[in-house]
Structure 1
């Protein structure tokens, strides 16, 4: 059986070179020209390691005063244009936002909030109350000060019953009095106090290490702009879509919806006047990303396809930066639905994928070590648990996960009663009914569809009849979010926050828990991971090791690959970095010459 599997996989790799697909924002396997693909084939046996890269740009030459850069947002689809942190939901919009807005708190390389951001903080002796002070020189782009009222207003909007964004999750609910405010039982949020124009105190119900590693909502909402807009209309308003505002280093000048944004420098930026005069962000198709970089048409990009790195590793006009991504790709199983009224995930026992044996067998059928080597040249690698190695204190590297074992997968299905009773090569359910599994995946570069087809073929190899549908980014997540009945299994990607707490994706009241799975043990462990006891690092690691094992056993989803981030940056660019806690900020970016620097 394994030899047959290897043959089919080799066949898929050959077919991969003949297929083309478009890119998606979260899946970064974008393609290039035919020449690039042939070069990739020539270098196909060479493996790389993320350890070979730096995440901070080497400065070459002397920076000039002013200048502009062009940032390529790599995508096969337009960005949605929900340009406010309180309402956005997709990575493309976040890429647009990052240039003109930012959180009030920053963090270090260990993902702990520092005192170096636009606001500082103090913690009460009992750990429940945080008092934040916004710096006096932090102003919105229209010159109005960013105030404590703006920070309070953001919480009030997110907690409003008419709020249509994804932020009302467990972190926000931890604010004292916010659930009563949402339920209409109180006119104010009792746990938030505006002390003066620049000072805000927030009291949290549960004391947790997450409070200093990411679970505080740090994005204010300009009250003087939004207070007269009904909450249900805010996310679609011109103030979000056409004329967004922030307090970051650059100001939005013009927007071509879904296609491009031009920014001018914010001379009043609180850290100091930016070096650059401006930035242009353009959506570029994955199929042209290499050409855009070679010609110098873009100076840096949101993502570079690691499958194309070997063919372009020696591009003369760029330096490749690299880092371990705070993300993983995963296969998720639809196991319930979202109860909008109750605001919680509900497991439906009659769902097609409800049998854990079926889910476990599908996980064992996948060889992601080979996927990482053949599709990604070692720059993606086999995922074992649902906490990635970007958080080494909590990733359980001793847990092997659901290892590739086709014989075991077949044995599990046999013992669970999935048999081919009709003789067509596909197994029926234990009740003898036809079993057709609908699998949805996102479009991507040259690898996206072949990779999805590989998963389908792997599952067919163990007798499962799986139908694949490739969807572009926005359609994919619309259907997954609405629990579309035509999706039983999906391939998604999840960006882990600076806080390791998995509740945002796997919690019982998280709308982003698209599997809709939860149980008492899951809830208990997630709660213990953010309890006061979890300030003990060893205790928290032990809890999350137990949680990782629970997810291996229950398999609401399983990771496929962990990911390296590669970011080519034009040699004319100074002061650029990727990753967290580098101490390099966007206002510091500079260039050594105004003209494009093309590859030789």
Structure 2
């Protein structure tokens, strides 16, 4: 699989770790150190990692972010699980059948799939968990992922009821799901932690079952041993897990340190086995033997508000986009080896013929100063502009966004002689204003919820809350709608290829660079799998 560039660390922290208070002393308590020494002397395999912050929630329906997924994906398991090749494979479900029309999936749950308390994992646990996610009173941010299920959108919006959901426990170990239309990415989508089951008896006995270690029940490779909130979380191997023989680690200690420099110091002192690289020492460390680069499905990009002048004009949008040199941004601004983005869909997704989506659809944008100047002149003539209206680039107030915005400002000015104004605001204010189309031109980012190109491209349909450009194209909407109902994978990808080309041709957005993940690993750590969609996988991890 093709590798992406290094993920800009300050951006990643803002995306998944912001607004949380972390204890920077985590992992440094002398009492903890004594425990760790005892573990090592006993021959236990103990992995020490940093989660950056307290998980938002270990309720699968609420913890819809990387800080929660890091832990949840290793404590629990759904019907499918992403394998070492990042493709969905059998997990709690040992097999399934699909109806001829592609609408009904019948899952057969393993007889030896148990919860950490010894209870069997049942079909009713999935009905309960998925219904809870869709219940409007739960207010799950992940609920939209399940709208492909019959009755799901109506129930979640308050216009339907749970009885109409296409979810049924046929018997204790048989779970049936009925879809609105054939969904090519279905098995991939349900590997997302939001689709994990919930132990019905545990949840009914204690609705806050997920909030403390002594009440948490898991069905995945690990179970929760202790949880000192905002300080440390400890997982131990789950002997009730159906595939426990594959799990090699005995324990995983998660620190909660929200500063990458402190994290790196802890790695250097041996208190952590893994660390990100601080940006100010990347030049010295990036080529080290203990650096591991992992795929990250997502990108940094910019949105135009096509309802505001001058960006109602396609040629002016293209002029701005073509005046930005993506290669220079990653070489001289972010300086961590990111891969320039010339399309919206990240590398790493393969179509029905095994071809990489990004390579197949090619470069849909190019840095071309001469063409940019010509397009700007043509666009201004079309709009009757003697002078371009003032353009303001708005961004969420982080150091990384500021540096990037200043670089974009300089490039656009040098190529097009446009004096771009910059405006920053606090993150939540910025996002509210962006959603309300109160900005002309904004910095943006996208990370996949599941491993399929449609997850990126559906962001720009007319009614999507992720659109935030004012752009609407009926042909594009239809391409995405058709792709969602196309059962033939080859035909589905052709629709997605066409949709991305249309998006990039009208250019309500323009891409900058693709994200990646980069880590320092201790010499004895191996087989950690980091899925491009953001789940870290410790099922196969080892310390030798």
Does TM, scored on the shorter chain, surpass 0.5?
A: yes
* Cα deviation code 1:275-314 (max 9, x no counterpart): 333222122412344433332221124x546885441146
Distance 1:509 1:417, change over 3 A: closer
Structure 1 position 174 matched with structure 2 position 148: yes
8 Å Cα contact 1:507/1:523 also seen in 2: yes
Structure 1 position 333 matched with structure 2 position 287: no
Structure 1 position 387 matched with structure 2 position 345: yes
Select 2:199's aligned residue among 222, 226, 230: 222
Q: Residue 132 of structure 1 corresponds to which residue in structure 2?
A: 107
Structure 2 residue matching 1:279: 3-state secondary structure = strand
Tell me how far 1:373 sits from its aligned partner: 2.7
Structure 1 position 275 matched with structure 2 position 248: yes
Tell me how far 1:198 sits from its aligned partner: 2.2
8 Å Cα contact 2:202/2:209 also seen in 1: no
Q: Residue 4 of structure 2 corresponds to which residue in structure 1?
A: none
Q: Residue 25 of structure 1 corresponds to which residue in structure 2?
A: 13
Structure 2 residue matching 1:145: 3-state secondary structure = coil
Distance 1:193 1:99, change over 3 A: closer
Equivalent-residue separation in structure 1 for 2:127 and 2:463 (angstroms): 23
Equivalent-residue separation in structure 2 for 1:130 and 1:94 (angstroms): 26
Tell me how far 1:390 sits from its aligned partner: 1.1
Q: Residue 318 of structure 2 corresponds to which residue in structure 1?
A: 360
- Aligned 1:37-52 pairs, distance under 5 A: none
* Cα deviation code 1:319-372 (max 9, x no counterpart): 32223322222223356xxxxxxxxxxxxx458754434432321121111222
Q: Residue 59 of structure 1 corresponds to which residue in structure 2?
A: none
Structure 2 residue matching 1:370: 3-state secondary structure = helix
Structure 1 position 589 matched with structure 2 position 541: yes
Equivalent-residue separation in structure 2 for 1:184 and 1:548 (angstroms): 33
Q: TM-score, normalised by structure 2?
A: 0.78
Select 2:444's aligned residue among 474, 491, 497: 491
Structure 1 position 568 matched with structure 2 position 543: no
Structure 1 position 146 matched with structure 2 position 99: no
8 Å Cα contact 1:83/1:241 also seen in 2: no
Select 2:459's aligned residue among 505, 512, 517: 505
8 Å Cα contact 2:136/2:155 also seen in 1: no
8 Å Cα contact 1:140/1:247 also seen in 2: yes
Select 2:378's aligned residue among 395, 408, 415: 415
Q: Residue 437 of structure 1 corresponds to which residue in structure 2?
A: 392
Distance 1:79 1:458, change over 3 A: farther
The gaps in structure 1 that reach 5 residues or longer are: 1-19, 29-61, 336-348, 420-427, 593-600
Q: Residue 531 of structure 1 corresponds to which residue in structure 2?
A: 485
Distance 1:381 1:188, change over 3 A: same
- Aligned 1:443-482 pairs, distance under 5 A: 443=398, 449-461=402-414, 462=416, 463-469=418-424, 471=426, 475=428, 479=432
Select 2:502's aligned residue among 550, 556, 564: 550
Structure 1 position 374 matched with structure 2 position 332: yes
Equivalent-residue separation in structure 2 for 1:429 and 1:190 (angstroms): 54
* Cα deviation code 1:494-544 (max 9, x no counterpart): 236222223553344544444464431121111232333532x2x333322
Tell me how far 1:562 sits from its aligned partner: 1.9
Q: Identify which range, 491-500 or 195-204, moves more after superposition.
A: 491-500
Equivalent-residue separation in structure 2 for 1:452 and 1:353 (angstroms): 18
Structure 1 position 72 matched with structure 2 position 50: yes
Equivalent-residue separation in structure 2 for 1:481 and 1:531 (angstroms): 30
Equivalent-residue separation in structure 1 for 2:320 and 2:374 (angstroms): 12
Equivalent-residue separation in structure 2 for 1:202 and 1:64 (angstroms): 46
Q: Residue 33 of structure 2 corresponds to which residue in structure 1?
A: none
8 Å Cα contact 1:440/1:487 also seen in 2: no
Q: Judging by fraction of residues, say which structure has more helix.
A: 2
8 Å Cα contact 1:63/1:574 also seen in 2: no
Equivalent-residue separation in structure 2 for 1:454 and 1:377 (angstroms): 13
Equivalent-residue separation in structure 1 for 2:187 and 2:136 (angstroms): 28
8 Å Cα contact 1:131/1:201 also seen in 2: yes
Structure 2 residue matching 1:86: 3-state secondary structure = coil
Q: Residue 520 of structure 1 corresponds to which residue in structure 2?
A: 474
Bigger relative contact order, structure 1 or 2, given CA contacts below 8 A and separation 6+? 1
Distance 1:120 1:404, change over 3 A: same
Equivalent-residue separation in structure 2 for 1:293 and 1:495 (angstroms): 29
Structure 1 position 101 matched with structure 2 position 51: no
Select 1:324's aligned residue among 275, 295, 299: 295
Q: Residue 402 of structure 1 corresponds to which residue in structure 2?
A: 365
Q: Residue 23 of structure 2 corresponds to which residue in structure 1?
A: none
Distance 1:313 1:437, change over 3 A: closer
Number of residue pairs matched by the alignment: 498
Indicate the RMSD between aligned Cα atoms, in angstroms.
3.9
Equivalent-residue separation in structure 1 for 2:15 and 2:162 (angstroms): 43
8 Å Cα contact 2:282/2:336 also seen in 1: no
8 Å Cα contact 1:453/1:468 also seen in 2: no
